[in-house]
Structure 1
Amino acid sequence: MCGILGAWGPMPEKRAAIGSGCDRMRHRGPDSNGFWEDEAAQIALGHVRLAILDLTEAGHQPMVSHDGRNVLTLNGEIYNHQDLRRRLEREGHMPAWRGHSDTETLVEAVSAWGMERALQETVGMFALALWDRHDRSLYLARDRFGEKPLYYGYAEDAFVFGSELKAMAGLPGFDRRIEPQALALLMHHNYIAAPFSIYAAMRKLMPGTWLRLDGDLLASKALPQPRAYWSAEAVALEAAADPLEFGSDAEAIDALERVMSTAVQGQMLSDVPLGAFLSGGIDSSTIVALMQARGGGQVNTFSIGFDVAAFNEAEHAKAVAAHLGTRHHELYLSAHDALEAVPAVAGIYDEPFADSSQIPTILLARMARRDVTVALSGDGGDELMGGYSRYVRAAAWWARREKLPQALRGPLALGARTVGGAAPLSAMREQAGKLAQVLRAEHSGRFYRQFVSYWKRPEEVVIGASLPPGPFDQASELKFLDHMTWLDTVSYLPDDILVKVDRAAMSVSLETRVPLLDHRVYEFARRLPWHYKNRDGQGKWLLRQLLYRHVPRDLVDRPKKGFGVPLGLWLRGPLKDWAYAMLEPERLKAQGLFHARPILQKWREHQSGRRDWSPHLWGVLMAQAWLDESESWGRGP
């Protein structure tokens, strides 16, 4: 696991600029750093390394292929790289291997097969840049689900790219103008969805895509069009037309265990200490159970507990760990301990990011890093296996809409909106507002976007902004519930869940891996008929049955709590003064980014205790904290 940074085109003092940028993301790669440059071609690649596979100099990057044509800088892991090596050998492409790193395998695969085929053959998580010295062209690529970040754009006449914006922000000519549409996305979802970034001149490469930049595009300062080498949507559509059939439930459980065991075993490949996050929930418990079943000694597991009972799952995790026989580590935190992490949040996340479970995630990563360098997590299970309770609630609302004649939906939506806009705030107003959203939605995607959003009309909060089009605006042939899970897979999962975990873990040089996001597991899960995902009102049904083979039901069957903090209480208590200073009207007015009135209205209502507006306010607060933090970027490591 590493960090990458590079520039192609004219840039003053390029070597020093790339070196300084790498210093600012040293947490991603504390073990070594590398630099490669072709001055005549005006291309430079930088790299900071967290050594996981092949700890010797043979794994050093940027890495040149054995034929000298391709130069690769890679952030990530290729879990099937040993299989790829054997295939290259069988096909007669075997070079004189210098070591056993997956980076070497990948650069040779690109030389043998070309970029697109090499990407399609990989099982892994990665962001990469590759310079083709023969064609004088630059390639960027990102893994299928977006586990690893990759930003790109122009800094004056140079094309720049990197793992972190804070590393790029000090490059000469970097444009720091804020993108209002990104702020609108933040207000709507509490994250900034790809391809947008907080900076107008920078983009995120979409998951499952790659791009090629040649000299003509560089000269015109045009951005290349990303190309998909794998599509979550295409897989979902194909799966809907070809669902799996099993002779019995036991057969279905066996099939899931096979595909998940393969993914878990592949992701346990490491030359450094490895463990797993364990909340005691279905997803993480299943991952740990399969790790422990593989043998080879006790698995290190990690969980965090809180002194607020409603947010504490540590006792459940401890019970699961005891049953499985792991080497368990736990840390109990007070509100004071968690609050101490708040000032660090804006510096850890490259962009404003407002999922408040980022706070315990940061603390969990810090604890795990004391004992391991790699940790597996259970993220992805809700999206793949229909685990979110909101799917059932959303489906119920949508079913009500479908029963109404088309001619009645418009007038009823107008009436519901009028009731929804009335004062005082009440449960009736909230229900009426939801009904209006359902009735106004042209299709299920736009309905679901409103269903899971915070500020429903972000243009009323962000000055001069509108919500840009995205996957929620596309009508779909998928059935309602399949459409919801796909939308979360291409939006909430990569831009919230995976961002949260990657940035928190890499801030302490910890690599995280997500076995449920092995694309073969996803392809299997998409083909499962819905009754294997939700049965008798119980989500993740099939995954639960697999877990019950390893862990007694009474240890894991309980209501899902999530991984949150009592943010609403904190904003009325220990964070109140800090938060109000961030939301002070004169400050907002001077920045010229936000309309103060709706923000302060929610602040007052939250302080009164009538409503919990903490998720809405947290989005604004994280934007404010990020603005303060980013002012120092580029002024030293």
Structure 2
Amino acid sequence: MSGLCGYLNLRRDAEFGARPLSARTASMARFDGSPVSIVTEEPCGIGVAAAAAAVSLYQEPGLMAAVWGRASLDGSADQLAKRLVAKWRARGAQACADLSGHFAVCIVDGSTGSVLLAVDRSGVHTMHYQSDQRGLLFATSPAALPAGELDPQSLFDYLYFHMIPAPRGVYRHQHRLQPGEYLLYRRGRLERSVYWRMRFREERSVPFVALKSQFLGALRASVRQAASGTDHIGAFLSGGTDSSTLAGLLERPARTYSIGFDVDGYDEMAYARIAARHFGTDHHEYYLTAGDVADAIPQIAAASAQPFGNSSVVPAYFCAQMARADGVTRLLGGDGGDELFGGNERYARQALFARYEQWPSSVRQLLLEPLLFGLAGGWQAPLLRKARSYVEQALLPMPARLETYNLLQRYGAARVLDGEFLASVDEAAPLGQLHACYWEAHGLSQINRMQALDLRYTLADNDLRKVSLACELAGVEPAFPFLSDALLTFSACLPPSDKLNGTRLRYFFKHALREHLPRAILRKKKHGFGMPFGHWLLTDVRLRELAFDSLADLKARRIVRPDFIDRLTQTLVHEHAAYHGTMVWVLMMLEQWLQQHAIPPRAAAPADAAEIAAGPAPTA
């Protein structure tokens, strides 16, 4: 794990000083052995654990700055931190908008008692912080900050989203920047705002042929940039359109890595092999077993700075581990392609629901709905059940409609969670977050609103964290070519119908790359590294014991109702292992995280109503 951390110590408090900074910085090098650099001049200090090419440090009397990642300023990476300081003095926090690439930034001015923190546009890198009357602590990983009291709302958010979305952290006093955000701290006052936001232009202004040329040029440049600076480059290869595209664009015989599952309906290795043969890659495969998963669960829980419930982190970890054993130091991931170019299947599904809204209201409200919902009998007919389900979902407003199949909602929070714990949280907060993000920009098409939502919640808070965690644990650097600034800008200007044409996903993307990708890859459905945990839960004794023992231990924490855990393990998973196995995984990883991070077996103290209403952090 590489990264940076630091402090501004207004009260000369020992917890904020140089000695704890050394320990916190060293903790960020525990997996990859990155070189450590520390600069201090009271009342401030910065620690960095990173290869020399991935960090820029600058210090002058009373001030210090660091940029971690692969970034440039006005097209150059030379003396990056020093030039950023000059920009900051001239433009304030908006100087961050002149940075390109993937980065985390800190500028600490001890003479004025001020700090600037910022992260890149996609949230590839993160920044966590906490403040009190003593000053400010910050780090790219919360593991490099002092632990504290668990935040019940964050635990609820985890059970809802299967991760903890920014700006909250797992501890009450910790917060996280969202993509394209900065934090300005001035002697105890915090201002959090954005220096960049995705600006969509929905009208077509460029002919398709010219648009294709622009896209291919930007894509090739992004892959070259992501692969630059090392000869030890590889790529994840699931056999999907994104990973196959990247493997084919690497300007050398690419080394590709795939994970398979010896379970019907889950193994996508055939498509990975098609792509590998088509592009002539040096291809490597590994078939994951239930025993591998049981071995990895405690390691992943220990390495994760906060609870994380995306089970695909396990195959991603074994893929990265395979690459590292092969000498690879950087792995390209195709994350972001779905979100930028319309590849998520729910985009097509929601387009079908949106069509119902276009019917005349008289037909919907006076004829169809009374007919469907007024019929007392006949609901065993499959066609009628499907019609009613379609209308029920279509009547839900966005983005609530996206949460129709949310597990916690389907079970019912009151049936899942301890009553005292549930009384301490705001059940409506997760949907409120989604609603605020979805409606942040006015006048946009549904596909672009969903894209904005997914860039934050599906990508920045989930998929990027998954790949970063897997690569961190394996000691490999991840890179994400689809998330270059150029491709973000291109996507923002791509007409909605080129992302989703009717119900055809990735319309422009597939047309632009049909001469590059094998036909079988273009036609396949999205799968990725989805893991057959539910199947293994029923067939592998060791994995089942680990999971069920974890859930039994979770009962004592007064977060989840013991009777729900009993019903889940004794009945539900045996009725539909793939579906209910997801909740087993989410609860197991919560308990494993609590155990690995030495949290005693009790629930977090209830938050008072004022704290819930106030939210996690001050904003501008």
User: What band does the TM-score fall into relative to the shorter chain?
Assistant: 0.7 to 0.9
Conserved? CA contact 1:74–1:103, under 8 Å: no
**Residue in 1 that maps onto 2:402:** 448
In 2, the alpha carbon distance for the partners of 1:317 and 1:275 equals 14
Conserved? CA contact 1:74–1:126, under 8 Å: yes
**Residue in 1 that maps onto 2:344:** 388
Secondary structure of residue in 2 paired with 1:75: strand
Taking the TM superposition and a 5 Å limit, the aligned residue runs for 1:463-502 are 463-464=422-423, 465=425, 466-468=427-429, 469-473=432-436, 475=439, 476-502=442-468
Secondary structure of residue in 2 paired with 1:135: coil
Taking the TM superposition and a 5 Å limit, the aligned residue runs for 1:498-517 are 498-517=464-483
The 1:627/1:535 distance shift into structure 2, 3 A limit, reads same
1:92-147 deviations in Å (ceiling 9; x for gaps): xxxxxxxxxx4732432332454534321222111222212453311111111111
Matched, 1:141 2:143: no
**Residue in 2 that maps onto 1:90:** none
| CA shift for structure 1 position 623 | 1.2
**Residue in 1 that maps onto 2:128:** 151
The 1:318/1:155 distance shift into structure 2, 3 A limit, reads farther
Secondary structure of residue in 2 paired with 1:311: coil
| CA shift for structure 1 position 12 | 2.0
| CA shift for structure 1 position 361 | 0.8
5+ residue gaps, structure 2: 601-620
1:158-177 deviations in Å (ceiling 9; x for gaps): 421112222213xxxx42x2
1:185-211 deviations in Å (ceiling 9; x for gaps): 222221111111111111111110111
Matched, 1:373 2:329: yes
**Residue in 1 that maps onto 2:58:** 64
**Residue in 2 that maps onto 1:12:** 14
The count of aligned residue pairs is 573
Conserved? CA contact 1:189–1:453, under 8 Å: no
In 1, the alpha carbon distance for the partners of 2:512 and 2:63 equals 44
**Residue in 2 that maps onto 1:179:** 151
In 2, the alpha carbon distance for the partners of 1:19 and 1:431 equals 62
Secondary structure of residue in 2 paired with 1:312: coil
In 1, the alpha carbon distance for the partners of 2:127 and 2:386 equals 39
Q: Pick the aligned partner of 2:84 from 82, 99, 109.
A: 109
Q: What amino acid maps onto 1:305 in structure 2?
A: G
1:271-320 deviations in Å (ceiling 9; x for gaps): 4622222222111111222223xxxx323222222322432223322332
Q: What amino acid maps onto 1:123 in structure 2?
A: S
Secondary structure of residue in 2 paired with 1:470: helix
The 1:623/1:333 distance shift into structure 2, 3 A limit, reads closer
Matched, 1:267 2:242: no
**Residue in 1 that maps onto 2:613:** none
Secondary structure of residue in 2 paired with 1:340: helix
1:251-276 deviations in Å (ceiling 9; x for gaps): 33222112212222222221462222
1:60-96 deviations in Å (ceiling 9; x for gaps): x6x225x656422333111x45x534xxxxxxxxxxx
Using the TM superposition, name which of 606-615 and 370-379 deviates more: 606-615
Q: What amino acid maps onto 1:593 in structure 2?
A: I
Q: What amino acid maps onto 1:150 in structure 2?
A: M
| CA shift for structure 1 position 356 | 0.9
| CA shift for structure 1 position 346 | 0.7
Q: What amino acid maps onto 1:445 in structure 2?
A: P
Instruction: Give the alignment's TM-score, normalised by structure 1.
Output: 0.81
Q: Pick the aligned partner of 1:35 from 35, 38, 42.
A: 38
1:333-366 deviations in Å (ceiling 9; x for gaps): 3333333222212112211111111110111111
**Residue in 1 that maps onto 2:69:** 76
In 1, the alpha carbon distance for the partners of 2:132 and 2:28 equals 19
Q: What amino acid maps onto 2:306 in structure 1?
A: E
**Residue in 2 that maps onto 1:257:** 216
Taking the TM superposition and a 5 Å limit, the aligned residue runs for 1:108-257 are 108-112=83-87, 114=89, 116-154=93-131, 157-169=134-146, 174-175=147-148, 177-217=149-189, 224-232=190-198, 235-236=199-200, 239-240=201-202, 242-246=203-207, 249-257=208-216
1:433-488 deviations in Å (ceiling 9; x for gaps): 7755553x4x3123224455654554653433224231324535322222222211
| CA shift for structure 1 position 591 | 1.2
In 2, the alpha carbon distance for the partners of 1:538 and 1:68 equals 58
In 2, the alpha carbon distance for the partners of 1:182 and 1:460 equals 19
The 1:178/1:19 distance shift into structure 2, 3 A limit, reads same
1:320-340 deviations in Å (ceiling 9; x for gaps): 223223333332333333332
Matched, 1:580 2:534: no
Taking the TM superposition and a 5 Å limit, the aligned residue runs for 1:197-596 are 197-217=169-189, 224-232=190-198, 235-236=199-200, 239-240=201-202, 242-246=203-207, 249-271=208-230, 273-292=232-251, 297-370=252-325, 371-400=327-356, 403=359, 405=361, 436=392, 438-439=394-395, 441=396, 443-451=397-405, 454-456=408-410, 457-458=412-413, 461-462=416-417, 463-464=422-423, 465=425, 466-468=427-429, 469-473=432-436, 475=439, 476-535=442-501, 537-554=503-520, 556-574=522-540, 575-584=543-552, 587-596=553-562
The 1:596/1:244 distance shift into structure 2, 3 A limit, reads farther
Q: What amino acid maps onto 2:156 in structure 1?
A: A
Secondary structure of residue in 2 paired with 1:212: strand
**Residue in 1 that maps onto 2:45:** 44
Provide the identity percentage.
Answer: 25
Q: What amino acid maps onto 1:180 in structure 2?
A: P
In 2, the alpha carbon distance for the partners of 1:31 and 1:490 equals 29
Conserved? CA contact 1:301–1:328, under 8 Å: yes
Q: What amino acid maps onto 2:519 in structure 1?
A: R
| CA shift for structure 1 position 430 | 9.8
| CA shift for structure 1 position 429 | 8.8
Secondary structure of residue in 2 paired with 1:604: helix
**Residue in 2 that maps onto 1:627:** 594
| CA shift for structure 1 position 582 | 2.0
Conserved? CA contact 1:166–1:630, under 8 Å: no
The 1:589/1:158 distance shift into structure 2, 3 A limit, reads farther
The 1:545/1:84 distance shift into structure 2, 3 A limit, reads same
In 2, the alpha carbon distance for the partners of 1:324 and 1:470 equals 42
Secondary structure of residue in 2 paired with 1:225: strand
The 1:563/1:271 distance shift into structure 2, 3 A limit, reads closer
In 1, the alpha carbon distance for the partners of 2:220 and 2:62 equals 37
In 2, the alpha carbon distance for the partners of 1:71 and 1:149 equals 20
Conserved? CA contact 1:459–1:467, under 8 Å: no
RMSD, aligned α-carbons: 3.3
Q: What amino acid maps onto 1:577 in structure 2?
A: E
Conserved? CA contact 2:349–2:503, under 8 Å: no
| CA shift for structure 1 position 501 | 0.8
In 1, the alpha carbon distance for the partners of 2:51 and 2:403 equals 38
**Residue in 1 that maps onto 2:603:** none
The 1:155/1:390 distance shift into structure 2, 3 A limit, reads same
In 2, the alpha carbon distance for the partners of 1:362 and 1:628 equals 21
Matched, 1:2 2:5: no
5+ residue gaps, structure 1: 54-58, 86-101, 218-223
| CA shift for structure 1 position 564 | 0.9
Secondary structure of residue in 1 paired with 2:524: coil
In 1, the alpha carbon distance for the partners of 2:517 and 2:558 equals 54
Q: What amino acid maps onto 1:84 in structure 2?
A: G
In 2, the alpha carbon distance for the partners of 1:307 and 1:274 equals 28
Instruction: Give the alignment's TM-score, normalised by structure 2.
Output: 0.83
The 1:481/1:271 distance shift into structure 2, 3 A limit, reads closer
In 1, the alpha carbon distance for the partners of 2:311 and 2:388 equals 28
Conserved? CA contact 2:260–2:286, under 8 Å: yes
